[in-house]
Structures are given as C-alpha cells and as structure tokens.
Amino acid sequence: MGGLVDSRIFWFPSRMKHLIAALITITLAGPAATACGPDSLGTSRILTVAPKAGAHFGTKSYGGTLPLQPREVVLTFDDGPLPGPTDRVLEALAKECVKATFFLIGRNAAANPAHVKRIAREGHTLANHSMTHPWTMRTISHDAAWKNILEGESAITTAAGSAIAPFFRFPGFADTPALLDALDRRGIATFGTDLWASDWNVMSPETQLKLVMDRLRKANGGIVLFHDTKTQTATMLPAFLAGLKREGFRVVHLRAP
C-alpha cells in the first residue's frame, strides 16, 4: 500500500536571479508505508526530485531550497561511509524509521562497498560527494574537478551495484559557475544546505545537540548537514531524533525518479 502522490512544478530563484524549475513529486508516507511502531519518529513524506537546469538547493549557497513546509527537515550525511560511525548512524536512523540522504566520497565507497549496499538496502538515498573530496574544487582546474566528480559517481555506483541519485554536493560547498553548468547539463541536482551541525569541529555530543537544535528552531526546518564519519555525531543522533519528535519536526526523504 503506497502513499498519496501529488505531482507539481515548483519554481525557485537561482543565484543568477532568474527563475529555475525542478519537478518534484510529493509522496505522503501512509501508515502501511513502513513497519514502524507508533512511537517512532518515522518519515512523514518523500520528495522525488527530477533535476532540471539550475536545480540548486540550499540557502547557505543558493537563492532557493526545497519546497519544505514549516518544521520539515531533510537529513543529509557527508563523507562516508566509515565503518563504526556510519554503522551507528544507520542504527539510530533504523530505530526511528527515518530515511536520509548520504553524500558519499567515492574512495570511501570503494573501500567499504558492504556499507554502501547497506545504506541503499535500508532505504536511504545514495548521492555523490566527489571521488577524493578535493579542498577545494575552486583551487584545481575545471577538468580535474569534473573528472573527480565523475569518478566519484562511478565509484559509488560500482560499490552500490546500482544507479545512485543524480544529486551532488560540493566539498566545502566550493562550486564554480562552470562546474554548476556541467552538472546542469548532465542532469544532476546540486545540493548545498540550509543549516549545518558544524560537526567538523570537535565538541561534545551534548554541545553539538544544543547547537543544531538551536539552529533548527531558528530556521524552523530545512536541509540539515551532518557527517556520518564523526563519532560525536553518531553519539548525538539518537537524542537529536528524539528532539525532532518531541518538538514536532517532521522528516522528509529525498528520492530520485
């Protein structure tokens, strides 16, 4: 039994101040959509994003973001997979029947194909975060950066044994106009974020939880960036998911067509 489907066109202002479009299908997660218990946070709905030219999402970098309602949250994780922290992140998500998008580094995917398959098997979305995470793509040639993007896509696809979502996030959000144009031409949506947990900085799980919840309350929802390679994030995540439920936030899952 599936959810209800509502298909429509959403328009977003781009960084170049012209209107762009991405076709997004909304699927509402019905009671039979998962085997979750009534006390789990769950996933409230699915956004199926079919990227078109200029599909760039996340207010930290771009002029628009996903068509989220107030108090809706999209969970994203960068840089994995990494045995240990990634396993704990997946366990926390599974316990609450929550789905997320994982922007993987190609070399990490190649080194840990079982984890890539597990992420996909458990219903999460696989996406590309480059092959080697150059710091940054603005400091290397266009050709080298584009090659790194394509190699990342190939490595993650090989590790998964199936196609991945046509979604890309730049390492350090360091895009260039030429790379954005190349991604647009290839039919790949570019994701920034609306807020982040700053978990690249060392802090206690308790400090990180307070920081991200404060930011989420202020933003009233949005795309959230974590790193599933960070032990502090893996430790913090169960309390974060509990906080989302307690404060009435709802999780939205991204999916490719």
- Kindly list the catalytic residues: 78, 227
Q: Which residue has the tokens 């196609």?
A: 163
Buried b (16+ CB within 10 A) or exposed e, 64-103: bbbbbeebbbbbbbbbbbbeebbebbbebbeebbbbbbbb
* Cβ–Cβ under 8 Å, residues 48 and 253: no
Largest CA-CA distance found in the chain, in angstroms, rounded: 52
Side chain identity at residue 110, one-letter code:
A
Residue 181's contacts (CB-CB under 8 Å, 6 or more residues apart) are none
Is the preceding peptide bond at 81 cis, omega within 30 degrees of 0? yes
